[in-house]
Amino acid sequence: MGDITGSNVPDERREGIERVHKATISEAKQWLSEPNVLVVLDFYSKNCPLCKEMSPSIEKMAKKFGSKAAVMRLNVGEPGETAKVATEEYNVSQTPELKFYLNGKELKAVEGLQSEEELEALFEKYTGKISDDKEFVMKDGFMPGQKAQSVEEMMMRISKDELPQGVTRVKMTGEEIILTEKSPSAILSNGGAPPAVQTINTSYKPQSSQGKKEMTSTERAMQHSMGKAPIPK
């Protein structure tokens, strides 16, 4: 991983994540390649008591410093690529362990249980290296972990009459309602057929009563109780 500190740092950056992202090694490396965002690798194991004890504090840090930081939680307690890369490339030998990176450079590694105060001091120190006075060009697009929405965020969007992320609103035409989920705007603008389209015919044509058996009073009363027909006088 190349070091892009000092005068080589680009004048662009993206927002971090205000939650801990359970990441793959590939996703973590994508974030590590991003400039001007603090990336924290949280190496943990499901069977690690100290990891469980420290987890709520890490969640708080992610929320508080999410505008400048992205916390990647990596499960190294099971055999596989994550554990292999953590051992061979990141020299992780125990859990919990946190590694702090900025612009391709490892700034700090801490092992074992850290108090909330100790974690806050570290996050404060290293996010402070991303200047608030400098005017960065904010990068477009989503990185791993950024698309996920909490229930609170989804309810807030709905209260503002906004569609959830990834859902496109399509104008109703004629007697049909076209519901389109996750349709790229480029496909729609090019006139192509959007994926996963369901068409609902809203026209209502009552069936002829010819040949139908007349309902009894009891049957009509039952229909009324279901909101389907009036009770005869």
Query: b/e map of 149-179 (b: 16 or more CB within 10 Å)?
Result: eeeeeeeeeeeeeeeeeeeeeeeeeeeeeee
Most confident of 1-5, 54-58, 195-199: 54-58
Query: What is the identity of the amino acid at 153?
Result: E
The percentage of the chain sitting over the pLDDT mark of 70, rounded to a whole number, equals 59
**DSSP 8-state assignment for residue 8:** G
R_g of the chain, CA atoms, integer Å:
27
pLDDT in tens, 30-83: 999 999 999 999 999 999 999 999 999 999 999 999 999 999 999 999 999 999
Q: Count CB atoms within 10 A of the CB of residue 70.
A: 32
How many separate helices (H) and strands (E) can be counted in the chain? 7, 9
Catalytic residue among 37, 40, 41, 51: 51
- Residues 25, 32, 48, 85: which is the catalytic one? 48
Q: Please state the rounded mean pLDDT for residues 204-218.
A: 54
Query: pLDDT digit string (tens) for 130-154?
Result: 988 788 888 888 888 987 555 665 5
Helices 116-127 + 49-64 axis angle, to 10: 40
Whether 51 is catalytic is yes
Q: What percent of the chain has a predicted confidence (pLDDT) above 90? A: 49
Mean pLDDT on 91-95: 94
Q: Is 141 a catalytic residue?
A: no
Structure tokens at 14: 């993206």
**Which domains can be identified in the chain, with CATH numbers?**
6-138 (3.40.30.10), 158-201 (no CATH)
Q: What value does the mean pLDDT of the chain take?
A: 76
d(Cα 100, Cα 30) in Å, to the nearest integer?
15
